[in-house]
Amino acid sequence: MRILKLKIENLRGLSDVDFEFNQPINVIVGPNAIGKTTILEAIRLAKALLMPRYFQEGQQVLVSLGAMSPHPQLNNYVDFSSLARDENLAIKVRMDITINEEELNYLSSTKQQLSLEVLKGQLGRNEDQNQLALTQFLSSEEGKKKLEKTSSDIESYLSSIQSPCTLPIELTLNPKTGNLQGANQLNQTMIILLERRNPPHKALFSYFPADRAFPTGETNVQIGSAEANNQIQSHLGQASTKYQRLKQTIVNNLLMSGVNQNELQKDFTAVLEKLLPGKELAGISVTQMGTLKVAIREISSGKVFDIDGMSSGEKGLILTFMLLRRTLALGGVALLDEPELHLNPAVCKNIVSFISDEIIQQNDIQIILCTHSGEILGAAFDRGDCTVHHLRSHNDATKIYEKDSNEVFSALNRLGTSAADSLFSQGNIFVEGDHDSLLLEDGFYDLVAGYKITSLGGRSGIEKEISTLQSAEKKGDLDKINCFIFDLDRMPTNIISSPLVKILQWDRYCLENYLIGRKELFDELSELGVNDLGSRGTFEKKIKEIALQQLNEVVAKEIYVQESPESVGHRSKDIEGKTFEEMAKILSNRLETLKSEVQNYDNSTWESQFVEKCNSRHSELLPSWNDSWVKHVSGKRLIDDLYKEYTINTSKLTLKRKLAKRIKIDTTEDWTLVKSKIIDALR
């Protein structure tokens, strides 16, 4: 059995999403609170209401979803508001389930039972009333004719289909009318019979929720019909009870499942060796006090302790994978929600390969898994037996990492952002300076929260990656904002933003320039107890003097470039894509030019001309710097110079972060300006 397709409409946070599950392992990723768990709950809800294994399964699932009261006096009321995204629209869950040849042959061999189940459903008989409930009806002529007609229709239908056969299943919940109904009773009943042929410890559908609570201390272990009932309910209806039944499950495997202790040892060994190395099962026994002990041995020290002493993550891992190996029937479907909880990344990295090697190949199980783990996501990307679906929004779920998307993720990886980072965030922000990410988070957290911020360490080569992403955007392979934030550095960029690849270049030298307002600097340094600041007026005058010293350097560099001979160093365009002969000609011409330029060089003449031109250029720029030095000066350099001028007993990064928080608290003009630029870029 396989779920091939899934469509969800108007269920909780999801309005309209589609999925295709065409591999044994199907991974679903997306940001927090986007609705990944709702996908698993949708499958669980449709299964429980339309294809229940036992009478109360649908009610138990509705109770767990908060849509029905657990009290008998109130359980005839369904709270659709807790399920529907829009209470004016119907909730719909559609699944295409495929059955194989063996399953189809089983259904053909039980046509009479299938007919009785369909007839019972048509008569509205409660599922807790067994086959004897139809005795009186089947004793009547009407009942006999009805059963004969139903049997004939089913036999005709079964003879007309071949394996693999796809059975459409559709659940509709109408908040206006209060109706809960399916679309095809026969298809639903066929799945019911396939599920019910399994013993209590086996299931075709099993849900593993993320909320894991393990009992502490001694737990009651029982056998018999009551335990069989609890076991059946733990598969789907009351899935959370799985985690309260760790020792009980181990006992069940020994007593009810035909598994001896050696086989159970193999299960533990498989999990412990590959996922939790360094531990092994040391045996199962009853202590002198009459309590059940599942002993675990730490191989390095030889220490033996009860399984209760393991961490919740370790216990969850052992129980989850033992249940997957031992309680999923052949061809079953397992719904796993965040299996990485309480586990370290090294363990998470091996989960996908373990599922494939130790579980799927053993029982031909289909896995539908929701995760936040970058390690699980990365492992799934690289496997041919996995699909990855990205739940982007309430109405957008996309199968990703196909051929067209490789270039996008490759470019993001070169920029320092993994595919996992990208998919788990609202978008990417790439900044230039090492401290910029922290300053943005400190001063503008509300704007950048949810975005993955990566420091590029400079602008070299970035234009190429921007071009790659913008090309991918044109092909429709980009779905989130990728914003590149550059310093001005007196080098305006000519790159133009596109809808999903944004370019934000500060209109000041760098981000620090928005932090060096004279009032904010004086206030912050005063609170830090910096001596010799003098009065506010004296300090502001001093800061301007320090800033204007940079003008001399700016002018000198500019004039030197103009007056100096061409550099002898080669440029990329001189050699790129050219033969040795072509390179030699270009480079020799440049050397000849350099030779003629320095032939008439006179030291004293060059120096006097250099000074004269520097003074002239300085006079041109000084008025602008006097008025707008905060814009032109290098803010990074100014802060460095402050540390030379004053004794500041805190790190430069700490000072910058304090200034970022201060301009936010004071809602300064500079803070408002940066805020507006970020809003425009992320819009």
- CB neighbours of 205 closer than 8 A, spacing ≥ 6? 43, 44, 47, 195, 235, 236, 332, 333, 335
Helix (H, G, I), strand (E, B) or coil at 242: helix
Domains of the chain from N-terminus onward: 2-100+164-390 (3.40.50.300), 108-162 (no CATH), 534-645 (no CATH)
Helix (H, G, I), strand (E, B) or coil at 308: helix
Give whole-number Cα distances, 258 to 198, 202, 251, 253, 309, in Å. 14, 12, 11, 7, 28
Q: How confident is the model at residue 524 (pLDDT cuts 50, 70, 90)?
A: very high
Per-residue pLDDT tens digits for 638-680 = 999 999 999 999 999 999 999 999 999 999 999 999 999 999 9
Per-residue pLDDT tens digits for 174-215 = 988 888 999 999 999 999 999 999 988 889 999 999 876 655
pLDDT at 233: 87
H-helix segments, 341-475: 345-348, 351-354, 361-363, 374-381, 406-414, 419-423, 436-448, 462-474
pLDDT at 292: 66
Per-residue pLDDT tens digits for 313-336 = 787 788 788 888 888 899 999 999
**Is residue 128 pLDDT above 60, yes or no?**
no
Is residue 329 a contact partner of residue 363, using CB atoms and an 8 Å limit? yes
What is the C-alpha separation between 480 and 426, in angstroms, rounded?
7
Least confident of 82-96, 175-189, 501-515, 563-577: 563-577
Per-residue pLDDT tens digits for 577-615 = 667 777 678 777 877 777 777 777 677 787 888 888 889
Q: Whats the size of the chain, residue-wise?
A: 683
Average pLDDT, the chain: 84
**Is residue 125 pLDDT above 70, yes or no?**
no
Q: Which residues of 44-68 are buried (b: 16+ CB within 10 A; e: fewer)?
A: bbbbbbbbbbbebbbbbbbbbbebb
Q: How confident is the model at residue 418 (pLDDT cuts 50, 70, 90)?
A: confident
Strand partners of residue 206: 334
Per-residue pLDDT tens digits for 270-300 = 778 888 888 887 877 766 665 667 788 888 8
**Is residue 363 pLDDT above 90, yes or no?**
no
The closest alpha carbon to 192, from 97, 280, 264, 270, belongs to 97
CB atoms within 10 A of CB 442: 18
DSSP conformation letters of 493-543? ------SSEEEEE-SSSSGGGGT--HHHHHHHHHHTT-SS---HHHHHHHH
Give whole-number Cα distances, 241 to 39, 74, 125, 200, 212, in Å. 20, 23, 29, 15, 9
pLDDT at 358: 86
Question: Which residue has better confidence, 477 or 247?
Answer: 477
pLDDT at 132: 65
Residue 16 tokens read as: 């309209």
Half-sphere exposure of 221 (CA within 13 A, CB side): 19
- Report the first-to-last Cα separation within the chain, whole angstroms: 45
pLDDT at 528: 92
Q: How confident is the model at residue 622 (pLDDT cuts 50, 70, 90)?
A: very high
CB atoms within 10 A of CB 28: 23
What is the C-alpha separation between 285 and 282, in angstroms, rounded?
10
Mean pLDDT confidence for 49-70: 89
Mean pLDDT confidence for 106-118: 89
Q: Which residues of 509-518 are buried (b: 16+ CB within 10 A; e: fewer)?
A: bbbbbbbbbb
Question: Which residue has better confidence, 143 or 410?
Answer: 143
Cis geometry, peptide bond prior to residue 492 (ω within 30 degrees of 0): no
pLDDT at 219: 56
The closest alpha carbon to 186, from 151, 143, 144, belongs to 151
Indicate the DSSP class of residue 241. G
Per-residue pLDDT tens digits for 463-490 = 778 888 898 889 888 878 999 998 998 8
CB atoms within 10 A of CB 642: 19
H-helix segments, 92-203: 101-109, 111-122, 135-139, 141-160, 185-196
What is the C-alpha separation between 290 and 21, in angstroms, rounded?
48
**Is residue 257 pLDDT above 60, yes or no?**
no
Amino acid at 58: G
